[in-house]
Structure 1
Amino acid sequence: MIYITIDGDDIGQMITSSYLKNDLHELSRINCVVNEKTLLISKFLKEQGFNIIFCAADGVAGFIDQIAIDKVFIFDSIKSLAEPELSFSAGIGTTLQEAYIALLSAKSNGKCCLHDFNCLDSNV
């Protein structure tokens, strides 16, 4: 089984900026864009055979009953769905915990990338 967890990059800072500027229109726009993009990503993953276990705020998590996936295709597709407004980081692993650790690695090493728990030394 393969788990994937995806999280938006710098979305918290975008939200904070809207609050600090007292810009309710921008805050509302960010909310709409984030909701739209996470739903698109969730739908794409479902089409690839993933079971979605979380889709809220700026994150998506799911799993698939396979031992291998085309990681490059999956992440390139996620990037295409998110751009140009947003970027996402992702982690994959054989457990939910591994996927989350890989996500933390991706977010700590430049963002807008996918890390595989089994390849953390080489980065995918």
Structure 2
Amino acid sequence: MAFVAIDGDDIGRKLAACYLSNCVSALKATKALVELKTEQISTLLTDLGYEVLFCAADGVTGVSETCQIDDASLYQKIKETVGDELAFSAGVGNSLREAYVALLYAKSTGKARICNFSSIGENV
């Protein structure tokens, strides 16, 4: 099985800026944008043969027993899908836990990237 965990980068900071600037319209716009992009990612994963396990807030998680797409190609498809308005990091693994650890590694080593659990530590 191939699990993928995807999470928005710096979304919390974008939201904090809305609150701190007291800008209701910016908060609503950010909410709408994040919802749109996570739905687009969810649709992409479904189209690629993944079962979407979670799609909420700024995260999407999926699993596939048959999908054979390589990590770089998957991340390129995610970037093409969401465009430049938001950045996402992703982790891939053979279990839900491995995908999440790989996601944390991607976020802690630069964000806006994909990491596979099996290659953690190889290229930082």
**TM-score, scaled to structure 1:** 0.95
Match of 2:119 in 1: 119
Match of 2:59 in 1: 59
Report the CA distance between 1:66 and its aligned residue: 3.0
Unmatched runs of 5 consecutive residues or more in structure 1: none
Alignment of 1:30-49 (within 5 A): 30-49=30-49
Match of 1:73 in 2: 73
Shifted more, 27-36 versus 80-89: the winner is 80-89
Q: 1:88 to 1:68 in 2, by over 3 A?
A: same
Unmatched runs of 5 consecutive residues or more in structure 2: none
Alignment of 1:76-115 (within 5 A): 76-115=76-115
Alignment of 1:11-30 (within 5 A): 11-30=11-30
- Percent sequence identity over aligned pairs: 43
Question: Which aligned segments of 4 or more residues in structure 1 are displaced greater than 4 angstroms?
Answer: none
Structure 2 residue matching 1:86: 3-state secondary structure: coil
Report the CA distance between 1:123 and its aligned residue: 4.4
Report the CA distance between 1:67 and its aligned residue: 7.2
Cα RMSD between the aligned structures? Answer: 1.4
Partner Cα separation in structure 2 for residue 77 and residue 68 of structure 1: 14
Q: 1:118 to 1:67 in 2, by over 3 A?
A: farther
Count of matched residue positions in the alignment of Structure 1 and Structure 2: 124
